[in-house]
Chains A and B, each alone.
Chain A
């Protein structure tokens, strides 16, 4: 039998990293293949290649035995490849029928430029019946549907266009149990009709429920493939982790000081009763898979996101309702999105670096430009920022040096608690090592550091203590000595 989809030796490199390294995947008609792997294992890149969003550097893709190459996302859809991303992609104010039949509205016979509304609703209902969601009113606007229903409508939309390969990227992350079951039923129907499905998920129970075969990726490579009958959770976890940690920067052990920060019962729509503590000179790390809530924890701590919480700094209870409150308690926050949240790209290194010290640089009615220049120069030296001058626009610096400018800005403010949200995102290996070295230096000066990273290896090599987060709650806490990749991964997938 001809495979519905065959991806052959797919290779894709980005500057500094091989994202997908000679990966083979084959999905037969009527087969569901689960694709699993840690954050950054290369799943998303592989799917983007399939959907036409990226072009692979080498490798071949076959649909029903026919090679396809150099196609756009639009052409991919015409070829029968549909990807349903986590972030759904629909027109909120249009009806279900309009969404399902977008681009191929039924026209009136005597006036081709007008849409035949009656035929549109009838056709939509027919498609919905075929996929088993005819209980949704085709005339209802998308905005009235639940997340789960919207997702089912998106699948129906894919189905309406001669679907061959359906890719579902973490489809259940926003669904409740009942909605999940609806989705699985729909998948079973499609499978019975001979559609090929690629199912990406971190939830191993679901994988065991829906898949016929599991493919595991790690570090851009395919490291395992097995029929579901032979798959066990332990085996899947073992394959997913097992990453090389050796090359990361070694952080030396230190004496920890007194308790600096205690957080208790941090809760909001996303977080559930999160508690943790941090000592002076200590580095704590938060690890969780995508969407676990790590990002929300540090944002809520820094007052950038509302949450109920009890926070004590140096033993004293403090209220943190906005970022300025957090800064008054000696906190500094290096955001994950360096370009959109950390820097003013169009401004100079100097302007970015001294943003928090403006009041101190005010001299009488004027501005002490000489002190500003020398302060910036001092930090450029201390953090070894490679920039032609203090007046250079930060947009033109490399990622690593941009991140150092953000660090300089915060360190000038003499914080006690440094919060780093994914501090090495998009930074090359050399600059990463420098950032780790800086973090260690800060710790030796008595700062407490909180680091969030989607890379387990990074958290394991940098943090003295690791909190594992799953669905907005802390599910595990390990010291550096206790932590193993298997243990962390088990907690991160809620086992």
Chain B
């Protein structure tokens, strides 16, 4: 058996890579096909400016999806992110109006995000509320606070640092895109290269086995919600810079966008399997589709329809995959 075990040839290594990343590869292929089709349909699509636009547009959802992936890998959910983002946006905007330094505002945004994540972790792990219910509750609460903070009116943000983040580029890419890339690749690295990351997958794969292996499932889930909250805080900054204002309706109606992207990225329902890279491709694919619809002047109301179809389709693919692998195990 030992030669079977250690002597991998280059070919089998390649095959192993392909089969281990089947879901990422299939969604990347889908993205590529959509891009090719769109580039034929619209001459604007492949322009550098449009591509940067897409990535800037996707930065908010992309940053939060990365954090959400960590939570969902552990078999939990977070539907409060967009509302937390709106609430934090209102807070930092009003504090900056009072004279708070913009850099300090960014730090506070991240801290508030962590605090919101902590509340989610408390309701889920201590009060034992099903994650989907707990975070919908949090969503409603935060959205309400966002409205109440100004009675529903937006707050202008007028300072150079925020303006630069929202509209300027550095090293050839917009700040927004850098934030997107760093968050995604940073979290991807943590997940695949640290003990913490390995445990995230383990908890999602079998929480009971983890408990019996001395891993604190509660602490892991707390860490997950903190990460997802912090990404919501970062998204609040990005969102505020993009329009130079904070408004309480930010992200209203988009609550399921990130969840759809994560499932589209190949995350197994219930956790244990999935990747940040898959999520990143998923969130980009949705953005490209929406961008394409805009370029082709398709009625914007169809965009919501499309998101709904994507969500159902993505989870359906996971079901098909699980059924097939269950059959394979039975046959083997």
Cα–Cα, bound, A359→B192 (Å): 14
B5 at the interface (CB under 8 A from A): yes
Query: Judging by beta carbons under 8 Å apart, are B193 and A323 in contact?
Result: no
Query: Judging by beta carbons under 8 Å apart, are A391 and B209 in contact?
Result: no
> Which residue of chain B has its CB nearest to the CB of A348?
B20
Query: Judging by beta carbons under 8 Å apart, are B329 and A391 in contact?
Result: no
Tell me which of B150-158, B196-204, B237-245, B257-265 binds A.
Answer: B196-204
Residues of A near B195 (CB, < 8 A) are: 358-359, 361-362, 367
Q: Given A362-B195, A391-B16, A381–B214 Cβ distance below 8 Å?
A: no
Kindly identify, within residues 358 to 415 of chain A, every residue whose CB is under 8 Å from any CB belonging to chain B. 358-359, 361-362, 365-367, 377, 380-381, 384, 386-391, 395-396, 409
Q: Given A362-B195, A365-B193, A389-B4, A344–B202 Cβ distance below 8 Å?
A: yes
A335 at the interface (CB under 8 A from B): yes
Find A333's partner among B5, B206, B212 (CB 8 Å cutoff).
B212
Residues of B near A380 (CB, < 8 A) are: 1, 5
Interface size on A, residues (CB 8 A): 41
A342 at the interface (CB under 8 A from B): yes
| B1 CB → nearest A CB, Å | 6
Give me the interface of A with B, judged by CB distance under 8 Å.
Answer: 302, 304, 322-324, 326-327, 333, 335, 340-347, 351, 354-356, 358-359, 361-362, 365-367, 377, 380-381, 384, 386-391, 395-396, 409
Q: Given A344-B202, A347-B272, A389-B8, A367–B209 Cβ distance below 8 Å?
A: no
Find B211's partner among A323, A345, A346 (CB 8 Å cutoff).
A323
B105-131, CB under 8 A of A: which get 1 and which 0? 000000000000000000000000000
Find B212's partner among A304, A346, A377, A390 (CB 8 Å cutoff).
A304
Q: What's the count of A-B pairs with C-beta under 8 Å?
A: 95
Find A387's partner among B5, B16, B194, B329 (CB 8 Å cutoff).
B5
Interface size on B, residues (CB 8 A): 34
Query: Judging by beta carbons under 8 Å apart, are B212 and A347 in contact?
Result: no
Find A351's partner among B16, B202, B215, B332 (CB 8 Å cutoff).
B202
26 A-B contacts, Cβ less than 8 Å apart?
A323-B213, A327-B214, A335-B209, A340-B206, A341-B208, A346-B273, A347-B202, A347-B272, A354-B198, A355-B199, A355-B202, A355-B210, A355-B213, A358-B195, A361-B195, A362-B194, A366-B194, A367-B192, A377-B6, A384-B1, A386-B1, A387-B5, A389-B16, A390-B5, A396-B329, A396-B332
Find B214's partner among A343, A347, A356, A366 (CB 8 Å cutoff).
A356
B137 at the interface (CB under 8 A from A): no
Query: Judging by beta carbons under 8 Å apart, are A347 and B201 in contact?
Result: yes
| B279 CB → nearest A CB, Å | 18
Find A358's partner among B199, B211, B216, B332 (CB 8 Å cutoff).
B199
Query: Judging by beta carbons under 8 Å apart, are A351 and B329 in contact?
Result: no
Cα–Cα, bound, A63→B272 (Å): 49
Residues of A near B47 (CB, < 8 A) are: none
| A416 CB → nearest B CB, Å | 15
Cα–Cα, bound, A116→B103 (Å): 71
Give me the interface of B with A, judged by CB distance under 8 Å.
Answer: 1-2, 4-6, 8, 16, 20, 192-195, 198-199, 201-202, 205-206, 208-216, 268, 272-273, 325, 328-329, 332
Query: Judging by beta carbons under 8 Å apart, are B214 and A351 in contact?
Result: no
Query: Judging by beta carbons under 8 Å apart, are B4 and A351 in contact?
Result: no
Cα–Cα, bound, A366→B213 (Å): 23
Query: Judging by beta carbons under 8 Å apart, are A323 and B212 in contact?
Result: yes
| A141 CB → nearest B CB, Å | 23
Query: Judging by beta carbons under 8 Å apart, are B208 and A345 in contact?
Result: no
Residues of A near B211 (CB, < 8 A) are: 304, 323
Cα–Cα, bound, A359→B195 (Å): 6
Query: Judging by beta carbons under 8 Å apart, are A356 and B213 in contact?
Result: yes
Query: Judging by beta carbons under 8 Å apart, are A391 and B206 in contact?
Result: no
Cα–Cα, bound, A358→B273 (Å): 18
Interface of B is mostly: helix
Residues of A near B8 (CB, < 8 A) are: 389
Query: Judging by beta carbons under 8 Å apart, are A355 and B329 in contact?
Result: no
The 8 closest A-B pairs by CB, nearest first: A344-B205, A358-B195, A324-B214, A327-B214, A367-B193, A344-B206, A323-B214, A366-B193
Cα–Cα, bound, A344→B8 (Å): 24
| A89 CB → nearest B CB, Å | 24
Query: Judging by beta carbons under 8 Å apart, are A351 and B201 in contact?
Result: yes
Find A335's partner among B2, B212, B332 (CB 8 Å cutoff).
B212
Cα–Cα, bound, A390→B192 (Å): 17
Find A344's partner among B5, B6, B272 (CB 8 Å cutoff).
B272
> Which residue of chain A has its CB nearest to the CB of B12?
A389
Find A367's partner among B4, B194, B216 (CB 8 Å cutoff).
B194
Query: Judging by beta carbons under 8 Å apart, are B213 and A391 in contact?
Result: no
Cα–Cα, bound, A71→B201 (Å): 43
Output the residue of B194, B198, B208, B215 with the most chain A CB within 10 A: B198
Residues of A near B214 (CB, < 8 A) are: 322-324, 326-327, 356
Cα–Cα, bound, A359→B4 (Å): 28
Find A343's partner among B1, B209, B216 (CB 8 Å cutoff).
B209
Query: Judging by beta carbons under 8 Å apart, are B205 and A345 in contact?
Result: yes
Known: A302-B212, A345-B205, A354-B198. 15 other contacts (CB 8 A): A322-B214, A324-B216, A341-B208, A345-B206, A346-B273, A347-B272, A356-B213, A356-B214, A358-B195, A367-B195, A384-B1, A386-B1, A387-B5, A388-B5, A389-B5
Query: Judging by beta carbons under 8 Å apart, are A409 and B205 in contact?
Result: no
| B268 CB → nearest A CB, Å | 7
Residues of A near B202 (CB, < 8 A) are: 344, 347, 351, 355
Residues of A near B332 (CB, < 8 A) are: 396
Residues of B near A346 (CB, < 8 A) are: 205, 268, 272-273
Cα–Cα, bound, A358→B195 (Å): 5
Residues of A near B192 (CB, < 8 A) are: 367
Residues of B near A304 (CB, < 8 A) are: 211-212
Find A388's partner among B4, B198, B208 (CB 8 Å cutoff).
B4
Cα–Cα, bound, A377→B202 (Å): 20
> Which residue of chain B has its CB nearest to the CB of A385?
B1
Residues of B near A326 (CB, < 8 A) are: 214
